[in-house]
Amino acid sequence: MAAENNEAAAMGTPSPRGELLRVRNLRTTFHSHRRLIKAVRGMDLTVLDGEFLAIVGESGSGKSVAMKSIMGLLPKNAEVKADKLEFAGKNMLAMSAKERRGMCGSQIAMIFQDPMTSLDPVKTVGKHLFEVLKRHRGLTGAAAREEAIHALEQVGIPSPAQRLDRYPHEFSGGMRQRVLIAMALCCKPRLLIADEPTTALDVTIQAQILDLLRRLRDEEGMSVVLISHDLGVVASLCDRVEVMYGGMALESGLVDDVFERPRHPYTSALLGAVPNPNERRTDRLVSIPGTPPSLVNPLDACPFADRCKFAADVCRTMVPEWRNYPSGQIARCAFDADALGLVGVGQGGEPCACCGARTGQAEDDESGKEA
């Protein structure tokens, strides 16, 4: 598909990093009371070995559901379909439920948003780790204990040997999230999916956890998919980013490229909505007018059409195709980005073409008033 070729081209090397996860046209529908809720409507995703990929989007854009679909963690009323779902070359669609389950943890691990409720309150932290070690690496007894202590050390939990026998309620939120990461590490997965792992945590703890993730990626060579709605974090930490909206992926590319020169109106609007602490203006905060589309019986159209300044009739009647750009970015829009004159972060002075937001550093008040 165009996307793959482009990424290969983007890498610029004749033998690109291996593809760890390849998802094409993922569709997830919930069947409920005779209503269909299309939470994911055609998402493409590629994760390369050892890369740190971010998936950003508003609440309800389908990012969590998409990842859970890949892992097979959705309730029974969820129908998951995809053209391709391959992990390390293996076709996940052809696997039995048992095989899929075997991969959960050992190949792909996932940690979730709320660490306070993610651990079984009546089991010690040690038990959590031992269970995982036994299941995926066949370790028991002293060997398991040693591994568990090592994992806790890796994630930065002090006095790990004593902590093994403690219960979750004796740990703070940040510590619990570390325990969950330790659980993930114990399995030595090739891919770690982190679904907004720091949203429920303090800002300072957030930094520590994200730092930990990056360190693990560097040391263990693990790929990390970070789901987040925090663009600042994404910018500082990730290699590539994928932008989702209304159940679809709308843009994908290297972080620097996407942020400086977005190729989709939504990305541009999203960036424009990020408050810039360096700005000396006292403008009102900018937001994207309108609300996300309903996922119940959505139209076959661009999901952003209702809120997009550039929307035309074609946007409301057809799902747009992917467009390739020389930088390696791909975007799903009916129009070419250059034609729209989209503006990203750090482009100072010029107002965003689609929503009038000012991004980057303001030079002086005069030029600002031109908008």
Whether the Cβ atoms of residue 283 and residue 39 lie closer than 8 Å to each other:
no
Applying CB under 8 A, does 106 fall inside the site for other proteins?
yes
Applying CB under 8 A, does 180 fall inside the site for other proteins?
yes
Cβ neighbour number for residue 63 with a 10 Å cutoff: 29
Report the alpha-carbon distance of residue 255 to residue 17 in Å, rounded. 17
What is the per-residue DSSP string for 250-305? EEEEEHHHHHHS-SSHHHHHHHHTS--TT----PPPP--SS-PPPSBS--SS-TTG
Residue from the set 2, 18, 32, 289 that interacts with other proteins by CB under 8 A: 32
Applying CB under 8 A, does 367 fall inside the site for other proteins?
no
Closest CB to other proteins among residues 41, 323: 41
**Inter-CA distances, 117 with 97, 173, 203, 250, Å:** 26, 9, 19, 32
- Total binding residues for other proteins by CB under 8 A? 39
Q: Among the candidate windows 45-53, 132-140, 205-213, 327-335, which touches other proteins by CB under 8 A?
A: 132-140
Applying CB under 8 A, does 119 fall inside the site for other proteins?
yes
Residue with tokens 């907004």: 196
- What are the residues facing 35 on neighbouring strands? 32
Applying CB under 8 A, does 165 fall inside the site for other proteins?
no
Cβ neighbour number for residue 360 with a 10 Å cutoff: 18
**Positions 244 through 283 that interact with other proteins (CB under 8 A):** none
Which residue in 240, 354, 245, 356 sits closest to 293, CA to CA? Answer: 245
Report the alpha-carbon distance of residue 321 to residue 335 in Å, rounded. 10
Residue from the set 1, 49, 145, 167 that interacts with other proteins by CB under 8 A: 167
Applying CB under 8 A, does 194 fall inside the site for other proteins?
no
Q: Among the candidate windows 26-34, 258-266, 272-280, 347-355, which touches other proteins by CB under 8 A?
A: 26-34
Binding mask 295-334 for other proteins (x = CB under 8 A): -x--------------------------------------
Residue from the set 17, 84, 135, 145 that interacts with other proteins by CB under 8 A: 135
**What is the residue type of 248?**
M
Which residue in 23, 69, 50, 90 sits closest to 242, CA to CA? Answer: 23
Buried-exposed string 318-330: b where 16+ CB fall within 10 A, e elsewhere: eebebbbbebbbb
| Shortest distance, position 42 Cβ to other proteins, whole Å | 21
Applying CB under 8 A, does 134 fall inside the site for other proteins?
no
Whether the Cβ atoms of residue 112 and residue 195 lie closer than 8 Å to each other:
yes
Closest CB to other proteins among residues 33, 284: 33
Residue from the set 16, 50, 102, 368 that interacts with other proteins by CB under 8 A: 102
Applying CB under 8 A, does 105 fall inside the site for other proteins?
yes
| Shortest distance, position 333 Cβ to other proteins, whole Å | 28
Give the footprint of other proteins on this chain (CB under 8 A).
30, 32-33, 35, 37, 71, 73, 101-106, 109-112, 114, 117-124, 131-132, 135-136, 167, 169-170, 180, 183-184, 187, 294, 296
